[in-house]
Chain A
Amino acid sequence: MTSEKDLLRKAHSFDPDALAEIYDSYSPGIYRYAFRLLGEQDLAEDCLAETLSRFLLALKNNGGPREHLQAYLYRIAHNYITDQYRRKEQWEHELTEAHPDLEQDVRASLNSRIDENKLRHALSCLTPDQRQVVVLKFIEGMDNRAIARSIGKPISAVKSLQHRALAALRRMLKNELEEE
């Protein structure tokens, strides 16, 4: 397997094999990240396509990363998701609980979906950095060093962002529960 630097060097010359390897290696993680934050497959596919398209455009303009490709791609995806959050106020509860005739298992699945959307809504209320840190840490399972590279901040700042993000989430979810 080619190292990341060699891969990026070949990618700068638009080597098809290197670009195919990049797609195969990094697209699943970007897709999962986008889906976890956006909650829909189509939106996640769009996010993945846009992220990789911006990456190619950067390579064409003789830009793009020389190292830490994964962090670079996550940063692009995160920016896209943030833009999506700002663009649409779709994190309203699309699914209501006013379906008394549904079967029990269907109802459970629906409740789970509603809870996930509430959680995503709470995530969307965080600042972009807090959201990214929380998602990368607790959903993607990355360590603090990798997160620091992704957001371009020191590890101490990552820890601080993580602490404040969790506190904010806890407060928002508690309020949500109390309102119910």
Chain B
Amino acid sequence: MNMFRNLPFQSNSDVISLLVKLQTVPDRQPEQVESGRRLFLEQAEVYRVEIARLDKRRQGYKRVNSFTRLKDFQYIRLFSTIMIILLISMVGASLTLAASQSSLPGQAFYPLKLWSEDLRLNLSYYSPASYLLALDFSDQRMREIEAITKSGGVPPDAVLVRLENQSDLAIAAALRLEQRQAIMAMQAIHNRIQSQNQVLEQLEQEFQVQPQVEQTLSRTREMLQLRLRQVEMYLEEPSLFLQPLPQVSAQVSPGSLLLQQSEVVPKGTPVPGNLPGTAGFPAGCISCTPGGTLSPSTLAPGSIQSTPAGSQPAQTTAGNQPNQPGSPSTGENQPGSPPEAPGNQPDKPERPGPGGYRKR
């Protein structure tokens, strides 16, 4: 019997009555149910094992990754600590160095100040402006001398020696330049030394200093006048100094360089000693007597315009050769000068002056 033929299909209920007939479903066979269930659980077990393996691998990766991160963090922390320590050290050193710049001889930071100056001079050896640096440091020495004198103390010889060395270094640095630049540098050095000389004059005039201090100041002025004279010689005849210079370290007094250079000047060439106002010194020797004897007292005081009345002759040679024939005695020619030249002082310390004339 065909059920389709019994239905008119005039309404949806006819269709629904047909659909209900599809509800009849034969029971599943128990072995099929059991088999399907077993397969389902076996597949689930396979997936579970795979997931567990993957999770283990992920956890291991996470552990390794976090360990690496921890190591990185430790390195970063170590690096940061080192950097902070370095930074603090640098800032501390800079502050200490800055504080030491105003220190005076005898104070705790003064050696640090001298060390920093030496370092800067050595580092700027090849710089064209190294003579300016040396001049600045010589000015610093002058300020120290001024401060110590005003406070009633005696400037230590080490300061004077250093002032002398730094003046010589400035001259040596200027001589390393080309001639046109060297002339300008020498003019700057000349002006600076003149200023320093004036400061010393004012100190002597304004303060009634102790005799010991007065001697020290006089020695300093003599040294400055000697350098002044060397610079003037160069400015009068720069061609005398065309010979290339040997390298001079900061420890060598370059004051001798002028003498060494002038020694190679051929005969007949005008030499500083023959220049007007130099009173016929031997060639190249600005400290010698006209007869060839070394004596800074023969520097023709009258020719040094900046030499004030009462200035003393160059101390180093004045003490050694006080009475050279033909050399006018400063003490005799200039009334008002100290009764005894500083070089005659028995306790005068040995100081490395311009090496040239000392050797002679």
Residue of A nearest to B33 (CB): A27
CB of A108 within 8 A of CB of B43, answer no
In the complex, which residues of chain B have a beta carbon less than 8 angstroms from the beta carbon of A156?
A: none
CA distance A141 to B23 in the complex (A): 9
| Binary contact track B1-36/A, C-beta < 8 Å → 1, others 0 | 111110101011011101111110110100011001
CB of B22 within 8 A of CB of A139, answer yes
CA distance A114 to B2 in the complex (A): 8
Contacting residue for B4 out of A14, A35, A138, A173, CB 8 A: A173
Residue of A nearest to B9 (CB): A174
A20: interface (CB < 8 Å) = yes
A4: interface (CB < 8 Å) = no
Contacting residue for A173 out of B9, B20, B37, B40, CB 8 A: B9
Q: Nearest chain B CB to A114's CB is how many angstroms away? A: 8
Check A138/B3 contact, CB under 8 A, given A19-B44, A28-B28, A170-B9. no
B39: interface (CB < 8 Å) = yes
Stretch at the interface among A44-52, A74-82, A86-94: A44-52
In the complex, which residues of chain B have a beta carbon less than 8 angstroms from the beta carbon of A177?
A: 4-5, 7, 9
Q: Nearest chain A CB to B175's CB is how many angstroms away? A: 86
B45: interface (CB < 8 Å) = yes
Contacting residue for A115 out of B2, B26, B32, B37, CB 8 A: B2
CA distance A98 to B192 in the complex (A): 137
CB of B36 within 8 A of CB of A27, answer yes
CB of B40 within 8 A of CB of A19, answer yes
A160: interface (CB < 8 Å) = no
B79: interface (CB < 8 Å) = no
CA distance A115 to B5 in the complex (A): 10
Check A45/B36 contact, CB under 8 A, given A138-B20, A173-B18. yes
Residue of A nearest to B14 (CB): A170
Residue of B nearest to A115 (CB): B3
CB of A176 within 8 A of CB of B4, answer yes
CA distance A20 to B11 in the complex (A): 44
Check A112/B15 contact, CB under 8 A, given A14-B51, A138-B20, A139-B22. no
A43: interface (CB < 8 Å) = no
In the complex, which residues of chain B have a beta carbon less than 8 angstroms from the beta carbon of A35?
A: 25-26
CB of B26 within 8 A of CB of A56, answer no
| Binary contact track A163-180/B, C-beta < 8 Å → 1, others 0 | 000110110011011001
Residue of B nearest to A57 (CB): B47
CB of B41 within 8 A of CB of A49, answer no
CA distance A121 to B288 in the complex (A): 137
Residue of B nearest to A168 (CB): B15
Contacting residue for A14 out of B21, B33, B48, CB 8 A: B48
CB of A170 within 8 A of CB of B12, answer yes
Q: Nearest chain A CB to B324's CB is how many angstroms away? A: 110
Q: Nearest chain A CB to B18's CB is how many angstroms away? A: 6
| Binary contact track A124-140/B, C-beta < 8 Å → 1, others 0 | 00000000001100110
CB of A167 within 8 A of CB of B12, answer yes
Residue of A nearest to B21 (CB): A116
CB of A20 within 8 A of CB of B51, answer no
CB of B15 within 8 A of CB of A139, answer no
Contacting residue for A180 out of B4, B7, B9, B45, CB 8 A: B4
B157: interface (CB < 8 Å) = no
CB of B41 within 8 A of CB of A16, answer yes
A151: interface (CB < 8 Å) = no
Q: Nearest chain B CB to A160's CB is how many angstroms away? A: 14
A59: interface (CB < 8 Å) = yes
CB of B37 within 8 A of CB of A23, answer yes
Contacting residue for A48 out of B5, B36, B43, CB 8 A: B36
In the complex, which residues of chain B have a beta carbon less than 8 angstroms from the beta carbon of A48?
A: 36
1-43 of chain A: CB within 8 A of chain B: 14, 16, 19-20, 23-24, 27-28, 31-32, 35-36, 41
Check A138/B21 contact, CB under 8 A, given A19-B40, A56-B47, A180-B5. no
Q: Nearest chain B CB to A93's CB is how many angstroms away? A: 12
B50: interface (CB < 8 Å) = yes
CB of A108 within 8 A of CB of B1, answer yes
A60: interface (CB < 8 Å) = yes
Which of A36, A53, A118, A170 has most B Cβ within 10 Å?
A: A170
CA distance A180 to B2 in the complex (A): 11
Q: Nearest chain A CB to B288's CB is how many angstroms away? A: 104
CB of B1 within 8 A of CB of A119, answer no
18 sample A-B contacts, Cβ–Cβ < 8 Å, listed by A number: A14-B47, A23-B37, A27-B36, A31-B28, A36-B22, A41-B28, A45-B28, A52-B36, A56-B40, A114-B2, A115-B2, A119-B19, A119-B21, A139-B19, A139-B23, A167-B12, A170-B15, A180-B4
Given contacts A32-B25, A41-B28, A170-B12, 17 further A-B contacts (CB under 8 A): A14-B47, A19-B44, A27-B33, A36-B23, A45-B32, A49-B39, A56-B40, A114-B2, A115-B21, A116-B21, A134-B19, A135-B19, A138-B20, A167-B12, A173-B9, A173-B15, A177-B4
